[in-house]
Homo-oligomer: A and B are copies of this chain.
């Protein structure tokens, strides 16, 4: 089996798997379907991945790493704590759209990961959410908002994650509108949309 996790070929395969897992679900996607979509035979799949679950892990991990990178970049150019909150919301929506397949899979197929894989990914997610924790904490220190920070963070992230259920970027609402409205809700400011 090829162990090079950063090979270009592997990334292609992971993206293809993400699409199938997103469209039909992990359990309903067979290794034969995956292989067909990848243009190889099902046996060849196991040259790239040790088993089917590892493909799922790779899909979710790639989505999370990408999300963290985008958040880091977007956050870099934000000054005030309100700007930072907006930056996080905007970055979150960006990855949810750009990398939709992987994130839908992360949300829906968590259960199919082995415990070991789950533990690894929980670490990644916690690292990501730390940015949110810090920024919301800043908003509190700046006096922009009061109350339970953990609750506010979870309600906000919930509202954002749920957008994969209904949001299509070809409508009237832009991702920026969504981010604006969410920040307004969290900071209890009048709606700007």
Given A27-B28, A154-B166, A155-B185: A191 and B112 within 8 A (CB)? no
Against B, the Cβ 8 Å flags (1 = close, 0 = not) of A143-161 are 0011110011011111111
Given A25-B27, A28-B27, A190-B188: A158 and B163 within 8 A (CB)? yes
Number of interface residues of A (CB under 8 A): 40
- CB-based contact A146/B191 at 8 Å: yes
Confirm or deny: A134 has a beta carbon within 8 angstroms of a beta carbon on chain B.
no
Given A159-B155, A188-B188: A181 and B148 within 8 A (CB)? yes
- CB-based contact B146/A190 at 8 Å: yes
The chain B residue sitting closest to A29, CB to CB, is B27
The chain B residue sitting closest to A161, CB to CB, is B162
- CB-based contact B147/A193 at 8 Å: yes
Confirm or deny: A182 has a beta carbon within 8 angstroms of a beta carbon on chain B.
yes
Confirm or deny: A184 has a beta carbon within 8 angstroms of a beta carbon on chain B.
yes
Confirm or deny: A36 has a beta carbon within 8 angstroms of a beta carbon on chain B.
no
What residues on B are CB-neighbors of A147 within 8 Å? 181, 184, 190-193
8 Å CB contact of A25 from B111, B162, B193: B111
Confirm or deny: A177 has a beta carbon within 8 angstroms of a beta carbon on chain B.
yes
Q: How far is the CA of A165 from the CA of B185 in the complex (A)?
A: 21
Q: How far is the CA of A38 from the CA of B151 in the complex (A)?
A: 38
Against B, the Cβ 8 Å flags (1 = close, 0 = not) of A66-93 are 0000000000000000000000000000
Binding site for B on A (CB under 8 A): 24-25, 27-28, 108, 111-112, 145-148, 151-152, 154-163, 165-167, 173, 177-178, 181-182, 184-186, 188-193
Q: Which 4 A-B pairs have the closest CB atoms?
A: A158-B162, A147-B191, A27-B27, A155-B159
Q: List 19 A-B contacts (CB under 8 A).
A: A25-B112, A27-B27, A108-B111, A146-B191, A147-B190, A147-B193, A148-B181, A148-B193, A151-B178, A151-B181, A151-B193, A152-B181, A152-B185, A152-B191, A157-B162, A158-B163, A184-B188, A185-B188, A188-B188
